[in-house]
Amino acid sequence: MNRLTIVTPDDWHVHLRDSPYLEAVVADTARQFGRAIVMPNLLPPVRTCNEAMAYRDRILAALPANSGFEPLMTLYLTDNTRVEDIEAASESGCIHGAKLYPAGATTNSDAGVTDLANLDAVLETMQKHRFMLQLHGEATAPEIDIFDREKRFIELSLERIRRNFPELPVVFEHITTRDAVDYVLASDACLAATITPHHLLINRNAIFNGGIRPHYYCLPVAKREHHRQALVAAACGGDARFFAGTDSAPHSKSAKESACGCAGIYSAHSALELYAEVFENAGDFGHFESFMSKNGASYYGLELNQGTVTLERREWTLPDSLPYPDSELVPFRSGERLRWKQVVDA
Ligand code: DOR
Ligand code: ZN
């Protein structure tokens, strides 16, 4: 097979940042995806409908001319999120969920939730409106080993959410472990998961290959090879509860290559091609379109996109870096060869 045409896909988890970084990255996502669930972890975070609408306007203004890309907005949950904000968001038509960051779990999560019990009324309201809960699924207690944080989150928090709010639709985002895959598979239709291209392509050895490799560091951190294999089986296996979410998270080269480098991998530059490589490595494109373009839309209750995108088999080399304000942006797999390339109309 030398050419692949699929319904225009969506990215069910992306970080677009804000001006001037927004302008540097949004075209990459808009070139490949019809829509994207946009993360609210700005500084300060996007906590209210008005803030989400204003951010949406900034994204639309930053798009290339004639782009049909649609940003799907989210709210950032805090200990003080008000039920009224959730009700307004669920009626807004352009806000498609609320994101739970356990406080301290990752970049810009300081304002996140310190105790799930603080969210009971909010989660009750979300369940009532069938308003999506997006989860950063990592337990944050300092004594928990970083490689066990996702598994512990399932035990300590996800179980509780599912038990107390069984009809609340949940997306367990950027899953990284066999434990998460198995938990989703054993669950019901109110739990789904996104999987990133980088967690499908690397295991934790990549972070330490011949020296410390900051451009492979993200959160949740990549795990052992058997976990990666479980993710590949989930993505390629056709179960409709798994779908694409890049978690593309740009940080400047200087912020990554530092004594305390930021967590985040910039994959938006070639996300489609990276996912295609995963399916090709697995030897089966049978469920590629479902994973990229159908499962997520169906779970979010949205129509499929109208158009199509095409990839062709053509070797090319990823750039070493991309332009980024005051610095550079190093894309995932920079300087390496990829086997698939999106065909972009002239
Ligand atoms: O690696 C990550 N980077 N994980 C996250 O959860 C946040 C993200 C970011 O915003 O940079
Ligand atoms: Zn993220």
Which residue from 13, 219, 260 has its CB within 8 A of the most atoms of ligand 1, so it is best to mutate?
Answer: 219
Is residue 247 flagged as an active site residue? yes
Taking the C-alpha atoms of residue 142 and residue 123, their distance in angstroms, rounded to an integer, is 26
Percent of the chain with pLDDT over 90: 97
| Tokens matching residue 332 | 């995932």
The alpha carbon dihedral of 292, 293, 299, 302 has a sign of positive
Taking the C-alpha atoms of residue 87 and residue 103, their distance in angstroms, rounded to an integer, is 23
| Structural domains of the chain ordered from first start | 8-307 (3.20.20.140)
| Of 248, 266, 255, residue with least CA distance to 319 | 266
Q: What is the pLDDT of residues 123-135, one digit of tens each?
A: 999 999 999 999 9
Kindly name the residue from 179, 247, 320, 326 that is annotated as catalytic.
Answer: 247
Could you tell me which residues come within 8 angstroms of residue 260 by beta carbon, excluding any fewer than 6 positions away? none
* Local structure of 244: helix, strand or coil: strand
Ligand 1 lined by 136 (C-beta under 6 Å): yes
Question: Which numbered ligand comes closest to the C-alpha of 14?
Answer: 2
Ligand 1 centre from 313 Cα, in Å? Answer: 31
Taking the C-alpha atoms of residue 126 and residue 91, their distance in angstroms, rounded to an integer, is 11
Ligand 1 lined by 176 (C-beta under 6 Å): no
How far does CA 1 lie from the centroid of its chain? 28
Helices 225-236, 178-185: axis angle to 10 degrees equals 40
Whether the pLDDT of residue 212 is over 90: the answer is yes
Taking the C-alpha atoms of residue 111 and residue 100, their distance in angstroms, rounded to an integer, is 10
Residue 164: which pLDDT band, with cuts at 50, 70 and 90?
very high
Q: What is the pLDDT of residues 26-35, one digit of tens each?
A: 999 999 999 9
Backbone angles phi, psi at 324, to 5 degrees: -155, 140
- What residue owns the CA closest to ligand 1's atom 2? 264
Which residue from 22, 25, 107 has its CB within 8 A of the most atoms of ligand 1, so it is best to mutate?
Answer: 107
Residue 1: which pLDDT band, with cuts at 50, 70 and 90?
confident
pLDDT score at 106: 82
pLDDT score at 176: 98
Instruction: Give the ligand 1 atom nearest the CA of 15.
Output: 10
| Neighbour order of strands in the sheet with 170-172 | 10-14, 35-38, 70-76, 95-100, 133-135, 170-172, 191-195, 242-244
Residue 346: which pLDDT band, with cuts at 50, 70 and 90?
low
DSSP 58-100: HHHHHSPTT---EEEEEEEP-TT--HHHHHHHHHHSSEEEEEE
Residue 15: which pLDDT band, with cuts at 50, 70 and 90?
very high
Question: Which numbered ligand comes closest to the C-alpha of 246?
Answer: 2
Instruction: Give the ligand 1 atom nearest the CA of 101.
Output: 6
| Under 8 Å between Cβ of 97 and 134 | yes
| Of 37, 43, 231, residue with least CA distance to 135 | 37
Mean pLDDT along residues 201-210: 98
Q: What is the pLDDT of residues 277-307, one digit of tens each?
A: 999 999 999 999 999 999 999 999 999 999 9
| Cis previous bond, 44, omega within 30 | yes
Considering the chain, what is the average pLDDT of its residues?
97
| Of 120, 72, 121, residue with least CA distance to 97 | 72
Ligand 1 centre from 197 Cα, in Å? Answer: 14
Mean pLDDT along residues 241-255: 98
Whether the pLDDT of residue 49 is over 90: the answer is yes
Mean pLDDT along residues 165-176: 98
pLDDT score at 104: 86
Please name every residue paired with 243 in a beta bridge, in sequence order, or none if there are none.
Answer: 194
* Local structure of 37: helix, strand or coil: strand
DSSP 178-211: HHHHHHHHTS-TTEEEEE-HHHHH--GGGGGSSS
Taking the C-alpha atoms of residue 118 and residue 114, their distance in angstroms, rounded to an integer, is 8
Q: What is the pLDDT of residues 51-109, one digit of tens each?
A: 999 999 999 999 999 999 999 999 999 999 999 999 999 999 999 999 999 998 887 88
Residue ranges with strand state E in the chain = 3-7, 10-14, 35-38, 70-76, 95-100, 133-135, 170-172, 191-195, 242-244, 308-317, 322-324, 327-329, 337-342
Taking the C-alpha atoms of residue 21 and residue 14, their distance in angstroms, rounded to an integer, is 14
Question: Which numbered ligand comes closest to the C-alpha of 245?
Answer: 2
Instruction: Give the ligand 1 atom nearest the CA of 174.
Output: 6
- What residue owns the CA closest to ligand 1's atom 3? 264
Residue 22: which pLDDT band, with cuts at 50, 70 and 90?
very high
Ligand 1 lined by 218 (C-beta under 6 Å): yes
Residue ranges with strand state E in 18-173 = 35-38, 70-76, 95-100, 133-135, 170-172
Ligand 1 lined by 107 (C-beta under 6 Å): yes
Whether the pLDDT of residue 323 is over 80: the answer is yes
Ligand 1 lined by 219 (C-beta under 6 Å): yes
